[in-house]
Structure 1
Amino acid sequence: MTDHGHADQPVDLPTEPYEGPGAATAVADHGAVAWHLSCDRGGREIPFADVFRSFCEHVRTEEVREVRIGTWDEIGSTGSEEVVALLCGAAERFPALRALYLGDIPWEQSEISWIVQSDVTPLLTSFPRLRRLVVRGSGVGLRPVLHEELRLLRIETGGLPGATARAVGACDLPSLRELELWMGEEEYGADSDVEDLAGILSGERLPELRHLGLQNSEYQDAIAAAVATAPVVPRLRTLDLSMGALGDAGATALLAGQSLAHLDSLDLSHHFMSDEVVGRVRRRMRSLEVEVDLDEQLEEEHDCEEGTEGGPDCDCVGYRYAAVGE
């Protein structure tokens, strides 16, 4: 499966790797960069606790607006609990922190399923002025919480637990404008279903939501059908149902549902729709003046004998897949 790489930068700041006291000296304005902390420095493994301690000692943390966390100790087998605890324990030293990316690790360095996360709720309770939180990896935990300042929440995973999806819908996020969840595949820990998204789709606790991404799902048809009647949709400006196993049934339900004329854009890329349904979607969105992304039109995979896949001699049921799993 393909990996869609890094999320967009939460804040428009240039990334500055923290490589020791010299890095801090080289930057005049410690609030003008997004500091990237990693225990991997030029091939040398340094305990993350030591990296973080040095960072707090040599950077004017009271100015820091964005922190991006890369690798920590024994990535692939150790979760992010220690990283979360270190950040929360030093929260008073970061009064200006507005953006946090936990798991800023490209696929060349670690597959997304190898990045083991933990309960990220303490980050929200310890940083009440945080505006953007991006979490990348497997096993992301969350408990319902009130956070009045958060504007963006993105959870990138190849396998989102259903409990986490339900917790997002149960959070009170009165300022949230952008929400993206990558559902992933059952093989990599995804055990959610469309009912787990009910709190999100109701929009009851998301009054300011303008962008919704429910992506990378094996049950993308069911998501599209639920979105077709979801109360949250009329307040959206952009809708992203990309990266999943969307087929004709889901797209047809979306077309038959509530009006999407208010949207600026609709992303359905990485899909399994037929040419006929792709044409219907394109014509409808064009008539509504909604920009639509229908790239990556895929065909179902088959496990049958090579050369018979999908043909008259094919005796297996085709399957679809999400873009990001491993």
Structure 2
Amino acid sequence: MPRYEFKEGSSNKFWEITLEGKTFTTKWGRIGTDGQEKTQSFDSPEAALKEHDKLVREKEKKGYELVDGEDGEDGDGDEVEAVEGKSNPELEAAILKDPDNQDAYLVYGDWLQGQGDPRGELIALQHAAANADSAEAGALKRKVTAHLKKHKALLLGGMAKAWSDEELTVQWHLGFIREARVGKGDYDSELDVPETVKQLLAHPSARFIRSLAVGMVDMDGENNYDDVTAAIVAAKEVPTLQNLFLGDFQYPDETEISWSYVNDVSGLYKALPNLRSLRLRGASAELGKVELPELREFIMETGGLPLGAVKSIASATWPKLERLEVWFGADGYGAEGGVEDIQPILDGKGLSNVKVLGLRNSEFTDDLVKVLHTAKILPQLEKLDLSMGCLSDVGAHELANHAAAYKHLKHLDLTENTMTGEGEKLVAKIAGTVAAGNQRDYDEEYRYAAVGE
């Protein structure tokens, strides 16, 4: 707990303050006594931090001096900076217009430094580190780390604790957050993930954010992403966000894939007009009418894909899509649909730019390969992934009998299916490279996708 003391004439007083999330505790009295203590709560971490900084400034103006802990430290020993951030909408607009133009960042950095905003120095340090030789770059990167720690209150606001606890990880680019991941670190975590996502997207540091991944939201109850989706939608429009991953967790270590729920994500499409990559992991996906004009990559990982979601994918509007990967899952965990339901994908409707196709984790793989050689989309593909399904030696014979249809492929992935050694030999040379190892046991009575629960 940072301790301040005031000694002048007959006055011999101390004052201490500890900030934690939405609350802070102050303690004061005569030096040598236990003093009095008071805890105050606020509506948000930002409100608590603002009042905390105000009180510290007031005590310092009255002559109180810090005697325990480094200048500006919070209760965790991490430095807190009270300077308020500045903004220049015109210079920010120049960056938004051309996000890869370093000069636009540097001009903004010069302006911020002139305003006494620590972000300006961060921009300068990161630019110097990126352009220095290896020896000098190391020293500059250490300066960047120290600067981030010193000014985390300004640069992260109410997210500072999550960052210190490594439940919020960020990648900085020229003074701003370019990539971020939010998720509970363990079962004892008190992190409010949806609230942190909301804070992140509203914070000046994430003004030009490009990538967001969200891990575990709830480790004790039902892990679902409804409130996270709502937080993103509530941001109204995040034009710079290009990559979104909902479900960035390890299964089965953190939770089973079918115990985590994607649910309705259809509201994201308007909120993220420039999305390039959308990756979803979990059960109960509701995709609605998919319209993502800038999307290049879509990945749906699940142990059971509902028929409605299958049809949404098959009829989606994403004219620039280059990679499509779908896990269908097991019937026992909600998987529905079959070859007939993905016929629009096989026909390549609206998928003229797709070069990588994954139809994975399916219980109908043998039926799929019976018609796959005639699929209109096949000639345009470079990579085809049929892994984790129920491809048997029967399906292997189908592939081998139509090997000419697959010879143009650079890579064919058939791993984690149910072929025997005989089946593996049949498919070994039908494409540029073929991955066919790690096969699972074949059982005619009980065949299942690799990932269900």
Tell me whether the two structures share a fold, i.e. TM-score over 0.5: yes
**How high is the sequence identity, in percent, across the aligned residues?**
34
Task: Give, in whole Å, the separation in 1 of the partners of 2:430 and 2:191.
Answer: 55
* Pair 1:295–1:63, CA change in 2 (3 A): same
Query: Does the CA contact (< 8 Å) of 1:66 and 1:100 recur in 2?
Result: yes
1:245 lines up with 2:372 in the alignment:
no
Correspondence for 1:144 among 286, 289, 307: 289
- Report how far residue 166 of structure 1 moved: 1.3
User: Partner residue of 2:320?
Assistant: 175
Query: Does the CA contact (< 8 Å) of 2:384 and 2:413 recur in 1?
Result: yes
| Paired letter, 2:416 | H
* Pair 1:27–1:260, CA change in 2 (3 A): closer
User: Partner residue of 1:271?
Assistant: 417
Q: TM-score, normalised by structure 1?
A: 0.81
- Report how far residue 215 of structure 1 moved: 0.4
1:320 lines up with 2:447 in the alignment:
yes
Query: Does the CA contact (< 8 Å) of 2:177 and 2:205 recur in 1?
Result: no
Task: Give, in whole Å, the separation in 1 of the partners of 2:316 and 2:392.
Answer: 31
1:294 lines up with 2:433 in the alignment:
no
Aligned 1:154-165 pairs, distance under 5 A: 154-165=299-310
**Which runs of 5 or more residues in structure 2 are unaligned?**
1-155
| Paired residue secondary structure (2:328) | strand
Correspondence for 1:284 among 417, 421, 430: 430
User: Partner residue of 2:243?
Assistant: 99
Task: Give, in whole Å, the separation in 1 of the partners of 2:429 and 2:182.
Answer: 47
| Of 176-185 and 190-199, the range deviating more from structure 2 | 190-199
Task: Give, in whole Å, the separation in 2 of the partners of 1:71 and 1:284.
Answer: 41
| Of 157-166 and 132-141, the range deviating more from structure 2 | 157-166
Query: Does the CA contact (< 8 Å) of 2:172 and 2:179 recur in 1?
Result: no
1:120 lines up with 2:280 in the alignment:
no
| Paired letter, 1:282 | A
1:135 lines up with 2:280 in the alignment:
yes
Correspondence for 2:371 among 226, 239, 257: 226
- Report how far residue 77 of structure 1 moved: 2.4
- Report how far residue 323 of structure 1 moved: 1.2
| Paired residue secondary structure (2:224) | coil
Greater RCO (Cα-Cα under 8 Å, separation 6 or more): 1
| Paired residue secondary structure (2:198) | helix
- Report how far residue 253 of structure 1 moved: 1.9
Aligned 1:20-31 pairs, distance under 5 A: 20-21=159-160, 23=163, 28-29=172-173
| Paired residue secondary structure (1:292) | strand
Correspondence for 2:331 among 163, 183, 186: 186
* Pair 1:90–1:254, CA change in 2 (3 A): same
- Report how far residue 266 of structure 1 moved: 0.2
Residue by residue over 1:64-99, the C-alpha shift from the partner in whole angstroms, topping out at 9 and shown as x without a partner, is: 11000112246752532221111011143x321100
- Report how far residue 42 of structure 1 moved: 7.8
Task: Give, in whole Å, the separation in 2 of the partners of 1:81 and 1:88.
Answer: 11
| Paired residue secondary structure (1:101) | strand
> What is the number of residues matched between the two proteins?
289
Q: TM-score, normalised by structure 2?
A: 0.59
- Report how far residue 245 of structure 1 moved: 0.8
Larger radius of gyration: 2
Query: Does the CA contact (< 8 Å) of 2:172 and 2:178 recur in 1?
Result: no
| Paired letter, 1:21 | A
| Paired letter, 2:436 | L
Would you tell me which structure has more helix in proportion to its own residues? 2
Task: Give, in whole Å, the separation in 2 of the partners of 1:42 and 1:274.
Answer: 42
| Paired letter, 1:321 | Y
Output the aligned Cα RMSD.
2.4
| Paired residue secondary structure (1:266) | strand
* Pair 1:297–1:78, CA change in 2 (3 A): closer
- Report how far residue 39 of structure 1 moved: 4.4
- Report how far residue 41 of structure 1 moved: 6.5
| Paired residue secondary structure (1:113) | helix
| Paired letter, 1:319 | Y
| Of 66-75 and 161-170, the range deviating more from structure 2 | 66-75
- Report how far residue 256 of structure 1 moved: 2.9
